[in-house]
Amino acid sequence: MLKTGIISTAYFGYNDYADGLKKAKSHGYDCVDFQGFISPSSPLYAYGETELRNYLDALKSAADDAGVKLWQMHGLWPHDDATKESRAEVLLRHKKAIEAAGRLGVKYFVLHPAMPYGWGQEPSLDEVYDITAERFYALLPTARENGVVLCIENMPFSKGHSFSCVKDIKDFVRRIDDENLKACFDSGHCFVTGDDHYDAIKLLGSDLAALHLHDDRSGQDRHLIPFQGDIDWNKVIAALREINFSGCISLETAISENTPQPIKEHMQISLAEIARYIAREITKK
DSSP 189-219: HHHHHT--HHHHHHHHGGGEEEEEB-EEETT
Return the number of other C-beta atoms located less than 10 Å from residue 276's C-beta.
17
Q: Where in the chain are the domains?
A: 3-283
Residue 136, Cβ density class (10 Å: 0-12 exposed, 13-18 middle, ≥19 buried): buried
Considering only the top CATH level, what class is 3-283? alpha beta
- Indicate if the pLDDT at residue 280 is higher than 90: yes
Q: How wide is the angle at C-alpha 228 spanned by C-alphas 226 and 233, nearest 5°?
A: 45
Distances (CA, A) of 53 to 97, 153, 191, 195, 254: 12, 28, 39, 41, 28
97-129 residue pLDDT tens? 999 999 999 999 999 999 999 888 888 889 999
- Could you tell me which of 233, 234, 215, 235 has the C-alpha nearest to residue 225? 215
Identify any residues that bridge with 73 across adjacent strands, giving them in sequence order: 34, 109
Four-residue CA torsion sign, 111, 116, 122, 127: negative
DSSP 76: -
Q: What is the mean pLDDT of the chain?
A: 96
- Indicate if the pLDDT at residue 219 is higher than 80: no
126-171 residue pLDDT tens? 999 999 999 999 999 999 999 999 999 999 987 778 888 899 999 9
- Between CA 147 and CA 70 the distance in angstroms is 14
Residue 108, Cβ density class (10 Å: 0-12 exposed, 13-18 middle, ≥19 buried): buried
pLDDT score recorded for residue 130: 96
- Could you tell me which of 157, 129, 149 has the C-alpha nearest to residue 206? 149
pLDDT score recorded for residue 218: 81
Q: How wide is the angle at C-alpha 178 spanned by C-alphas 174 and 184, nearest 5°?
A: 65
φ, ψ dihedrals at 161, nearest 5° = -90, 145
Alpha helices by DSSP H, listed for the chain, are 17-26, 49-66, 84-104, 125-145, 166-176, 187-193, 197-204, 233-242, 263-283
- Between CA 139 and CA 159 the distance in angstroms is 28
Percent of the chain with pLDDT over 90: 90
Band of residue 221 on the pLDDT scale cut at 50, 70, 90: confident
pTM for the model stands at 0.96
Helix (H, G, I), strand (E, B) or coil at 183: strand
